[in-house]
Amino acid sequence: MTPGSPAPSGSEEPELKLSPSEGFAHDAAMRISGASHPDAGSAGPGRTQRALASIVLGFELIVVFLMGMTIFGLSLLDPAELGIWGGLALCGVILVALATMRLGRTGIVIGWAVHGLMLLSAVILPMSLIIGIAFTATWIYCMVKGSRIDRERAAWESAQPLD
């Protein structure tokens, strides 16, 4: 079942209608996470969790780059260019996490490491602790909710009669 498709008969839930931009964002996140890949099956394990993880990391990529630029601009490190290189290095780790999101739990594990490093960046730029906490809280929420949705989807699909 895809978003925007009619709900199965006998369902008491109203039909979910997505706007074109919401549908595009959903489809893009599913492609990036590998959930819409034919090899993933109709309910590949953790597909919602991986899609949510991809969204969080995608937004975080932009913020991490800007944090590196801030560290450079404020000359918090000597030489100042270390701020740019540190930001780019963490961006690289995020890109690896996004690229490996299709490989089971690998991308999720790397995502946890990214959040640890993001919180650790507060040693250099104390205000980044606020950003790190916000993204880590969002990450935890997405991991818990995504896992729950995936478990419920698997239970629902296993209860469906075979065609």
Q: What is the pLDDT along the chain (163 residues), one digit of tens a residue?
A: 555 555 455 555 667 777 888 777 777 777 765 655 444 444 456 789 999 999 999 999 999 999 999 999 999 988 989 999 999 999 999 999 999 988 878 999 999 999 999 999 999 999 999 999 999 999 999 999 999 999 998 888 888 887 6
Tell if the pTM clears 0.75, that is, is over it.
no
Question: Residue 145: what pLDDT?
Answer: 95
Place of tokens 């925007």: 4
- Going by C-alpha positions, the residue among 58, 120, 63 that lies closest to residue 87 is 63
Q: Which helix (H) or strand (E) holds 20?
A: helix 20-33
139 sits in the region (left: phi over 0; alpha: psi -120 to 50; else beta) called alpha
Cα–Cα distance measured from residue 116 to residue 120, given in angstroms and rounded to the nearest whole number: 6
Q: What is the crossing angle of helices 128-159 and 47-73, to 10°? A: 170
Intra-chain end-to-end CA distance of the chain, in Å = 15
Domain ranges of the chain: 44-147
Question: Residue 32: what pLDDT?
Answer: 64
Question: Residue 40: what pLDDT?
Answer: 45
Task: Give the three-class secondary structure for 147.
Answer: helix
- Nearby residues of 69 by Cβ (< 8 Å), 6 or more positions away: 83, 84, 87
